[in-house]
Amino acid sequence: MSASFTLAEIAERCGAELQGDGSRRISGVETLDHAGADQISFFNHARYRKSLRETRAAAVILRPSDAADCPSNMLLTDNPYLVWARVTNCFAPLQVQEAGIHATASVDPNARIDAGAVVAAGVVIGAGAVIEANAYVGPNCVIGREVVLGQGSRLLASVVLMDRVRLGKNCLIHPGAVIGSDGFGLANDQGRWEKVAQLGSVVLGDNVEVGANTTIDRGAVRDTRIHDGVKLDNQIQVAHNVEIGENTAIAACTGISGSTRIGSGCTLAGGVGVVGHIELADGVHVSGASVVSRSLREPGVYTGGVLAMPHKVWQKNIARIKQLDSMARRLRALEKALAQSQDEQDSIKE
Amino acid sequence: MSASFTLAEIAERCGAELQGDGSRRISGVETLDHAGADQISFFNHARYRKSLRETRAAAVILRPSDAADCPSNMLLTDNPYLVWARVTNCFAPLQVQEAGIHATASVDPNARIDAGAVVAAGVVIGAGAVIEANAYVGPNCVIGREVVLGQGSRLLASVVLMDRVRLGKNCLIHPGAVIGSDGFGLANDQGRWEKVAQLGSVVLGDNVEVGANTTIDRGAVRDTRIHDGVKLDNQIQVAHNVEIGENTAIAACTGISGSTRIGSGCTLAGGVGVVGHIELADGVHVSGASVVSRSLREPGVYTGGVLAMPHKVWQKNIARIKQLDSMARRLRALEKALAQSQDEQDSIKE
Amino acid sequence: MSASFTLAEIAERCGAELQGDGSRRISGVETLDHAGADQISFFNHARYRKSLRETRAAAVILRPSDAADCPSNMLLTDNPYLVWARVTNCFAPLQVQEAGIHATASVDPNARIDAGAVVAAGVVIGAGAVIEANAYVGPNCVIGREVVLGQGSRLLASVVLMDRVRLGKNCLIHPGAVIGSDGFGLANDQGRWEKVAQLGSVVLGDNVEVGANTTIDRGAVRDTRIHDGVKLDNQIQVAHNVEIGENTAIAACTGISGSTRIGSGCTLAGGVGVVGHIELADGVHVSGASVVSRSLREPGVYTGGVLAMPHKVWQKNIARIKQLDSMARRLRALEKALAQSQDEQDSIKE
């Protein structure tokens, strides 16, 4: 983090309106509470207003409507978190790696590695693979046959791309991710399972991010498809034949079962489960740890589950779940009986 | 997928009854909707009947009872998915690897590698390991000491088998799987945790499949045991001392806690959790995302959880969960009160 | 497991009171049911009392109050499982690895490797990394730039530590774990996601254990912090900025969302989900598969979820969940109506 910019440079570069001393030197980012005289911070949520008022940051990114509470220089914007994203990237450590193939990498002679690509130590690349310009293949990654790694895409470390997987441009794949493993296709033969060969592949569009230890299975016949701009967090499981629409973001530990189609612009929070062979419309948002068991054809927020509570409260109440149907029936019976009793009472009164 | 067969050859090889032109040349598989004049498809579910009627496939695998809807050549069978499984394997890309040890592999001099085995680039194999005939150890796998990898078993890439793990014949282990990691055994000493050494190992039978990034812990004292024909999908966690019976299939993201025994012929759908120290009988089927908290001694289907619904519906109703016990008691009280009121009313009428 | 000790030596070493023949030779550990004449076992739970009475173990670790049921030599203690933990470590296979850097490892010339450290085959270590005395870097691990691996810490195999991650002393990291991957930070720009650079790192204290394929993300600005003595099982996801207090133990498949703080001495069972930006007090215990959606400020046990039951029972009852609010309202209405009816009846009787 040795980069340093003037505040005016940052405002210009990140698309915010400068208010204050543009010559102020900024050498890093910090939270409001910890920022010092050469650091920039951001304010995005009312609960941190006290921190804003007391910050010693050199500058703060915030909305014009919050400007009155800021004791410092400001970068004004309607989308502080977006400007913050851009500012953080100004200070991200430079990842300069010399282009070329490390001596310990094992590259098949029939693979085609662009001269501007980096192939790090311990990498293994199969026949027919194509590594495009400015692509980065980090230490100990394994790339199968006929894989295509698009321009500027990066596999950080120990990533496995199985045969024929294709990534677009500027994808970012975190360590331990496996793309193109076999889908879970099994036919039952009198109790024994026989494997269905998984003949499709996986295709990722451009600007896709895949988290650490996430797995994406290859399609059974056709390809599993992850469209442009999709962001997958860590430890997500994407089963065979799944399709995920553009700019959908999925948080960690979510599992998507086979042949399900998820629309574009969706968000799935952490730990979600989605059953197979269903469709989620564009703009569907699923709350954390919810299980989606049927197609959701309308955009909106969907939630399931019973959240944690003190154990004794849970124990006492959850035992009644198995009586719910009986309770509903008895409630209905009571309503009828009471109505009838009322009628009788009325007739007595008459 | 450059293989090609006559339809008669496929019928013969895959155990189906040919109806139509046996000389038809088949060069691949496809879905009903996309299959062309040299491709074979299959029909297994009523919802695709329209696709069946309109398919341009060279041939379709289906039940005799569906034959009337098929405009094409047919492979008739009572188990279309099983025949399909066999057909897909006819067209699976050949994985010819030259036997021998890659120059970049690090093999302990006291390991025994069969001359017909393949040890790929970047592999590390410890002392006393035995790699049997036709076994395949893919790129960057790590094999500990005294591991046994049975005949024809395949570790696809970046698989880790820790010391003394033993695999039977024809197992298939997908990338990133870890077998033989320590079980989570901890003794509490006045707030601090002391590790219980995990002295057992993991034993896999024959024809076991283990998915990408799945983990199977070694036993504490005795071995964790995965029996013949078990199929494990991706990102499954199998804790120490677990035993899984023959031909049980478990879908992705399922976790099985320590010392639990799962019978044979079971299926656990995705995202299931099973607590420790319990037993599931043969033929138990657990629905997706269900949590099994006690032994299931009868075969059958078991389900739990509250599925996702529109957030507002969930919010309004789930808040009542904590009132369930109170509601049940009040319902009972109402029933009593109404019965009493009825008695009184009856006595008034008399 | 070729080590062997007298029972007196074990009693001395593991802090238990010997009762019986101290010269008895012990060469291994076993369960009560399987232990033979040179093996030691332990008794910790009433349900194994029959096994205790019938054991052929050379000796049993148990509480003085259970001594009457033991037919064998005894190691008496108030904490049998703790003594057991120590005994198992007496018999753990020695992991003697010769210090030094394997010929196939790729170590940056600007990394500093202590002469007493082990760097195994296929390891890649970046510039500025520091590997302290007696540290062990197992096969195919990847260590980024400026990582610190403290004295005696062990990375077993295929572990990835990203740039600037710091581990204390005597940590144990199981295969496939990824520490320091990017947090899931995304700003939305009119539907498209822009990455927030993750500029913090991950700091682990001393004696931390991290399970196989577990992932711990680096902080966005400041560091993700895992304090001394924390034990993490397999396939856990720890998001950016999380802090986990001393001696907290977390079982497999649990996910902790960003910026959440978990106290010390907590236990989270398997498959738990914890939302972001909340706090769990010291001494909080969360039951398996529970979802924690708000701060838990009091120690105690917390539980959520609806456990698996026979499918038909579930189906019949769970359908009523969406009627819960209506049921609660109707119940209240009935209570009122009945009270009123009672009043009327009383007035009739008067």
CB of C272 closer than 8 Å to CB of C252: no
Nearest CA in chain A to B320: A317
Q: Which two tokens stand for residue A349?
A: 């009164």
> Mutating which of A32, A33, A42, A88 best tests the C interface, going by the most C Cβ atoms within 10 A?
A88
**Nearest residue of B to residue A345, measured between CA atoms:** B345
β partners of residue C194: C187
Taking only the tens place, the pLDDT of each residue in B291-333 is: 999 999 999 999 999 999 999 999 999 999 999 999 999 999 9
Mean per-residue pLDDT of chain A: 96
Residue C318: closest C-alpha in chain B: B306
Q: How confident is the model at residue A344 (pLDDT cuts 50, 70, 90)?
A: confident
Model confidence pLDDT, tens digit, residues C58-117: 999 999 999 999 999 999 999 999 999 999 999 998 777 889 999 999 999 999 999 999
Are A330 and B335 inside 8 Å of each other by CB? yes
Strands C118-119 and C136-137: parallel
Average pLDDT of chain B is: 96
Instruction: Considering only the beta carbons, identify the residue of A142, A144, A199 that sits closest to B92.
Output: A199
Segment A234-255 mean pLDDT: 98
Strand (E) positions, A213-320?
Answer: 215-217, 224-226, 231-232, 237-238, 243-244, 249-250, 255-256, 261-262, 267-268, 273-274, 279-280, 284-286, 291-292, 300-303, 309-310
- Give me the percent of chain B exceeding a pLDDT of 70: 99
| Chain C residues within an 8 Å CB radius of B318 | 321, 324
Q: Tell me phi and psi for residue C244, to 5 degrees.
A: -120, 125
Instruction: Decide if B255 contacts B276 (C-beta within 8 A).
Output: no
Residue type, B328: A
C271-285 pLDDT, tens per residue? 999 999 999 999 999
Residue A311 touches chain C, beta carbons under 8 Å: yes
Nearest to A195 among B85, B140, B328 (CB): B85
Q: Is the pLDDT of residue C350 over 80?
A: no
Chain A interface, mutation test: which of B272, B321, B330, most A Cβ atoms within 10 Å? Answer: B321
Is pLDDT of B239 > 70?
A: yes
Between C260 and C1, the higher pLDDT residue:
C260
pLDDT tens by residue, C240-261: 999 999 999 999 999 999 999 9
Contact: B288, A306; criterion CB under 8 Å:
no
Residues 197-216 on A with a CB inside 8 Å of B are: 197-199, 213, 215
Chains that touch B (3 or more CB pairs under 8 A): A, C
Q: Which residues pair with C286 in a beta bridge?
A: C268, C302
Q: Is A241 on the interface with B (CB under 8 A)?
A: no
Pairwise CA distance, residues A281 & B251, whole Å = 25
- C336 touching A, CB under 8 A? no
State what percent of residues in chain A have pLDDT above 70.
99
Band of residue A350 on the pLDDT scale cut at 50, 70, 90: low
Contact A85 C194 (CB under 8 A): yes
- Say which residues have a Cβ less than 8 Å from residue B346's Cβ, sequence separation at least 6: none
Q: Give the pLDDT confidence score for residue B350 in this predicted structure.
A: 64
- What pLDDT, on a 0 to 100 scale, did the predictor assign at position C158? 98
Measured between beta carbons, the chain A residues lying within 8 angstroms of C184 are 211, 231, 233-234, 251-252
Distance from CA of B176 to the nearest CA of C (A): 7
A259-293 pLDDT, tens digit each: 999 999 999 999 999 999 999 999 999 999 999 99
Residues of B in contact with A303 (CB under 8 A): 308-311, 314-315
Percent of chain C with pLDDT over 70: 99
CA-based end-to-end distance of chain B = 90
- Tell how far CA C314 is from the center of its chain: 32
Q: C221, A156: Cβ pair inside 8 Å?
A: no
Instruction: Using the predicted structure, report yes or no on whether residue C1 has a pLDDT greater than 50.
Output: no
Whole-number CA gyration radius for chain C: 28
User: Considering only CA atoms, which of B122, B109, B128, B185 is closest in space to residue B157?
Assistant: B122
Whether residues C324 and B337 touch (CB distance < 8 A) is answered with: no
- Say if residue A221's pLDDT is above 80: yes
Q: Which chain C residues are within 8 Å of A311, Cβ to Cβ?
A: 287, 300-303
Chains touching A (at least 3 CB pairs under 8 A) are B, C
Instruction: Give me the residues of B, 83-142, that contact A with CB < 8 A.
Output: 84-86, 88-89, 91-93, 102, 104, 120-122, 138-140
Cβ-based contacts of C140 with chain B (< 8 Å): 122, 124, 140, 142, 158
Structure tokens at A227: 């469209």
Are the CB atoms for B149 and B138 separated by under 8 Å?
A: no
Distance from CA of A86 to the nearest CA of B (A): 33
Give residue B91's pLDDT. Answer: 95
Question: Other CB atoms closer than 10 Å to residue C94's CB: what's the count?
Answer: 8
The pLDDT score that the predictor gives to residue B1 is: 44
Cβ–Cβ < 8 Å for A182, A165 = no
Which pLDDT score, from 0 to 100, does residue C343 have? 84
C6-35 mean pLDDT: 97
Q: Which of B294, B309, B323 sits opposite C328 (nearest CB)?
A: B323
Catalytic residue (one of B34, B45, B240, B311): B240
Q: From the CA of B233, how many Å to the nearest CA of chain C?
A: 14
Q: Which of residues 251-270 of B touch A (CB under 8 A)?
A: 251-253, 265, 270
| pLDDT tens for each residue of B96-135 | 788 999 999 999 999 999 999 999 999 999 999 999 999 9
Active site residues of C: 240
* Chain A positions in Cβ-Cβ contact with residue C237 (cut-off 8 Å): 234-235, 252-253, 270
Q: Give me the pLDDT at residue C2, please.
A: 63
Give C314's contacts in chain B (Cβ within 8 Å).
302-304
Q: What is the pLDDT of residues C101-158, one digit of tens each?
A: 999 999 999 999 999 999 999 999 999 999 999 999 999 999 999 999 999 999 999 9
With a cut of 80, say whether residue A1 has pLDDT above it: no
Tens digit of pLDDT for each residue in B223-235? 999 999 999 999 9
The arithmetic mean of pLDDT across residues C164-170, rounded, is 98
d(CA B233, CA B252): 5
Q: What is the complex's ipTM, to 2 decimals?
A: 0.97
For B254-294, how does the pLDDT look when each residue is reduced to its tens digit (9 = 90+)?
A: 999 999 999 999 999 999 999 999 999 999 999 999 999 99
Is the CB of residue A199 less than 8 Å from the CB of residue A223? Answer: no
Mean pLDDT, chain C, whole residue set: 96
Q: Mutate one of A26, A51, A91, A140 to test the C interface: name it (highest C CB count within 10 A).
A: A140
* B348 contacts on A by Cβ (under 8 Å): 348
Chosen from C55, C60, C158 to mutate, greatest number of chain B CBs within 10 A:
C158
Euclidean distance between the first and the last CA atom of chain A, given in angstroms as a whole number: 90
Chain C neighbours among B 171-190 (CB < 8 Å)?
176, 178, 181-182, 184-189
**Residue among A53, A9, A49 nearest A27 (CA):** A9
CA–CA min distance B93, chain C (Å): 28
Name every chain C residue with its beta carbon within 8 A of the beta carbon of A235: 213, 215, 235, 237, 255
Going from the C-alpha of B92 to that of each of A127, B15, B36, C36, the distances in angstroms are 17, 18, 18, 51
Q: Is A294 on the interface with C (CB under 8 A)?
A: no
Mean pLDDT value of segment C301-329 = 97
Residues of B in contact with C318 (CB under 8 A): 305-307
Contact A221, A199 (CB under 8 A): yes
Would an 8 Å CB–CB cutoff place A345 in contact with chain C?
yes
Say what the pLDDT of residue B344 is: 81
Find which of A237, A250, A312, A345 to mutate to test the B interface (most B CBs within 10 Å of its CB).
A237
**How confident is the model over C191-250, as pLDDT tens digits?**
999 999 999 999 999 999 999 999 999 999 999 999 999 999 999 999 999 999 999 999
Question: Cβ contacts (< 8 Å) between B249 and chain A: which residues?
Answer: 186, 193
CB contact under 8 A, B255 and C247: no
pLDDT of residue B347: 81
